[in-house]
Amino acid sequence: MMLKKKVTSPECKLNMTPMIDVVFLLIIFFMLVGELKRMAEEAVVLPFAAHAQEDKGGGTDLVVVNITKAKGVARTVKFVITKNEYNKKALEDYLAQRAAEVPDTSSAMELSRLKVKIRADSYVEFKYVQRVLLACMKANIWQVSFGVAPDPSRKKGNR
């Protein structure tokens, strides 16, 4: 009598540990690369403020104007919007163009719904911020805010 040989396949076990290792390493790698790239391009030392509001992001109707001191060149300040550098005239033109795209139809004064957030270095002279404010006024933009860092030494409502 012939005995049928029972063919059993070897038990297949999926080892998840190396896969988790690799996935986490990839996540960390991309986080670091993305963050370092962003930090290199928009490094702004924001001024401290103790009574500012939480910034929940902007959406499409928000323009962030970065005002930084250019590296290596003494007393040279540059205006940066989404990684592009602008001079005074180009900044005015850009803001005017963006403001015209989102007119406030409820306003009789040709105002714009565009919001501008100014992120300026602490030690930048105020006249550069004034330039952006003037450009906003010329472009019919009235919703302006300043990017600040929370003051670590002074807590809200604790004084």
Q: Which residues bind another protein (CB under 8 A)?
A: 17-18, 20-21, 24-25, 27-28, 31-32, 35, 46-55, 67, 109-111, 117-118, 120-131, 133-134, 136-150
Alpha carbon distance 43, 145 (integer Å): 18
Alpha carbon distance 26, 31 (integer Å): 9
Instruction: Give the phi and the psi of residue 55 in degrees, each rounded to 5.
Output: -95, 115
CB of 79 to another protein, least distance (A): 13
Of the pair 85, 132, the CB lying nearest another protein is at 132
CB of 137 to another protein, least distance (A): 5
Of the pair 32, 85, the CB lying nearest another protein is at 32
Instruction: Give the phi and the psi of residue 113 in degrees, each rounded to 5.
Output: -85, -5
Of the pair 11, 54, the CB lying nearest another protein is at 54
Q: Which residues, 6+ apart, have CB-to-CB distance to 37 below 8 Å?
A: none
CB of 112 to another protein, least distance (A): 9
CB atoms within 10 A of CB 154: 12
Name the DSSP class of 103: B
Of the pair 5, 142, the CB lying nearest another protein is at 142
